[in-house]
Structure 1
Amino acid sequence: MNDKPLDVLAIGNAIVDVIADADDAFLSAQGLDKGSMRLIDEGEALRLYDEMGPGREVSGGSAGNTAAGLAAFGLKAGFIGQVADDELGDIYRHDISATGVSFTTPARSDVGASARCLILVTPDAQRTMNTFLGAAQRLPAAAIRAEEVASAKILYLEGYLWDPEEPRAAMEAAIEAARASGTKVAFTLSDSFCISRHHGDFVRLIDDGRIDILFANEDEILALSGKDEFEAAVAAVAPRVPVLVVTRSEKGAIAVAGDERAEVGAEPIERLVDTTGAGDLFAAGFLAGQTRGKSLADSLKLGAIAAAEVIQHYGARPEADLKLLAGALL
């Protein structure tokens, strides 16, 4: 694995994030549950966009955020995701490429509009996400090149992309290419609603030995395991994957690999601004550590550092120098 030129190749939804401030009254008027994530159609995306206050646009999507975080740590990251041949697609390509991530998936003119996520951030830093998947859910299996997967130490996949049939087939093809080439497979469960919709598929991936590193948060590990208590959920899932990583917000995170267990507390912050991308950047830090042969504890620490940085400003892309923050850890 050490002679592979790409550290991590991520596959996920290519989404432009539109981030704007909102208060609880606005959420209530729009019928939105604070902190939720919902899928919307193009018409609702246009309507809500018109109702929102001023926003800023940045390339996003869970796996894309992780790839950008890896690049910020100085690692070589690639991204596969589908955009349309339109203005937002151009914004996405320029923005993610500018972070240093290799993004070569061709735009398509037959997939509707590029995806966007309208993110409303309340004063308590909670984000309410309204996602129009558009072109992102049209990633074809033909976009997966076995030689590109083989060139990476780790293939990183987001559960959000498992919904539509076309990208699901692409991700299956990528997993097969990874297994054939010695590339490790990392998978993030993404959201409890993904687990409820695809529980059988996710369990099959785990129990068939097709996932090497599984990322979850506390709610997701409970949903996956069917347990009501955190430690019971960890005990049920950890023996079934080589590495299990579970984030717990302000309670830190744990990682389990066989008989080894490591824990890390959340890094101190000056001010909580926006939790968008916290899990994505945590994954970036952990994967950065793992590709560099670091211990579970050091990898968790790198994840905590990246997550703490990103929640202190708007958007899911790091603004501080993660290499400097990592110091001797990387």
Structure 2
Amino acid sequence: MDPDGAGAIRKIIHIDMDAFYASVEQRDDPALRGRPVAVGGSRERGVVAAASYEARAFGVRSAMPSVTARRLCPDLVFVKPRFEVYRSISEQIRAVFAEHTDLIEPVALDEAYLDVTENRQGLPTATAVARAIRATIRAQTGLVASAGVSYNKFLAKVASDFRKPDALFVITPAMGPAFVEALPIGRFHGIGPVTEGRMKALGILTGRDLRALSLEALTKRFGASAPYYYGVSRGIDPRPVRVNRIRKSIGAENTFSDDSSEFAVLAERLAPILDKVWGAATAKEVRARTVTLKVKFADFEQITRARSVPGFVPDRAALEETVLFLLRDLFPLRRSVRLLGVSLSALEHGPAPEPRQLGLGL
């Protein structure tokens, strides 16, 4: 019987490329190999998009301000990201997945879930499939992938991260519940730093502590997330691998070389961001109801402002109109701005409707 209570035991693999962006840069530039590398940002500005394992040894992490990363690692080498290269390699890797199964759920360019309960190659175990995939990825791309194998998505994700880098770890149905009991709460996928802090304040330090709470107690403290926490603390996760996974949002942002608090300057700097966001939405044939503006100030404080529109955002002009409305509403500014971002959410797939006015009264 499946520990998730769904009948036959599923065989799930989570593949996660090790330090993907940084590893690609080290592969393509021998001078970077063995050195601490940060993709994105610069020595003075911006945010780290990815860090090599050599950089991580100093505490450098993704989403960290560049100035902080440089302070932690003075010898850190900053490299501009090449997203077109990363996307091309990601497509190559997904073609490897497709040699084994049609049930593939990409999560990002560098990771995906695979359901290999039945596999195309007729390999006897999910572990054998994971081993074959890792070997093919290394042979075709020169890059290293870690893999987690288990009977559900939660444990497969935990397993892929358990002994990184260059790891293959298996959590069997017999191991699952006991493995989760000993797992520190911070290593639970789906429990972020804020929730981790709340749980630790309540004395919830491990899966065993989480499992001791009833569903009612969890619901009182954590609301809609309670059923998920209740299940995974018992090694249960009934979520299927979703082949047509719908993105929750599409966005882009940019950190500027100099800060500004002038509306005209910031409006001009939004133009390429809007182009990128609308281009992505058009290419993916998604429509959006909600527009969000992200603003990071010179002191690194960050705010967001959102507006939902009737129907869907019809075109790029309407997107710009909405974003400028949100930006104008922040003025006058007391601090200068170092980063702007725009995202679309409440998405639905399908071609965009005929353009129409949003009537924002600008």
**Fold shared, TM-score > 0.5 on shorter chain:** no
TM tier, shorter chain? under 0.3
Q: Which has the higher contact order (CA 8 A, sep 6+)?
A: 1
Structure with greater Cα Rg: 2
Calculate the TM-score normalised by the size of structure 1. Answer: 0.23
Calculate the TM-score normalised by the size of structure 2. Answer: 0.21
